[in-house]
């Protein structure tokens, strides 16, 4: 029972986070910079892995093939994410038309009143 409650609480936090993003995009338009800012730490970690791996390679802890493979995975992940961001920007005008903004606002207001009631 507690496990199910924990999952519901996690889901509610995610919903609140995503609704915040949706409302930001509705007000300001879809922004690549906004998405990058929200994910900056993850990207910095991925980018910082490359020189770290190069250093480990020079010390002999990683073989050349392993370095190339892992670097390729990192570059591929970054390319995939930037492609996803660009695609999301292209389809945002359609999402803006089909999303029930009244429902989004209702959920946002409910989440706000629930969090204030808990305090």
Which of 2, 5, 43, 9 has the alpha carbon at shortest distance from 114? 9
State mean pLDDT over 47-68. Answer: 88
Residue 52 lies in a domain: yes
**pLDDT at position 109 over 90:** no
Residue 62 lies in a domain: yes
Residue whose structure tokens are 């010390």: 59
Q: Which domain covers residue 66, as residue numbers? A: 42-105
Residue 14 lies in a domain: no
Residue 68 lies in a domain: yes
pLDDT at residue 111 in the model: 67
Q: How many domains does the chain have?
A: 1
- Angle (nearest 5°) at CA 77 between 72 and 78: 100
The more confidently predicted of residues 63 and 22 is 22
Under 8 Å CB-to-CB from 104, ≥6 apart: which residues?
A: 19, 22, 23, 26
- Angle (nearest 5°) at CA 103 between 112 and 8: 55
Residue 8 lies in a domain: no
pLDDT at residue 37 in the model: 92
Residue 53 lies in a domain: yes
What is the average pLDDT score of the chain? 87
Which of 39, 2, 43 has the alpha carbon at shortest distance from 17? 39
Residue 24 lies in a domain: no
């Amino acid at each position: 029972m507690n496990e199910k409650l924990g999952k519901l609480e996690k889901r509610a936090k995610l919903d609140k986070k995503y609704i915040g993003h949706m409302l930001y995009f509705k007000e300001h338009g879809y922004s690549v910079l906004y998405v990058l800012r929200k994910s900056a730490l993850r990207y910095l970690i991925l980018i910082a892995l490359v020189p770290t791996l190069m250093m480990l390679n020079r010390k002999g802890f990683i073989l050349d093939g392993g370095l190339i493979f892992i670097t390729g995975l990192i570059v591929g992940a970054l390319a995939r994410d930037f492609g996803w961001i660009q695609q999301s920007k292209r389809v945002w005008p359609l999402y803006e038309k089909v999303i029930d903004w009244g429902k989004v606002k209702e959920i946002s207001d409910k989440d706000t009143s629930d969090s204030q009631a808990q305090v």
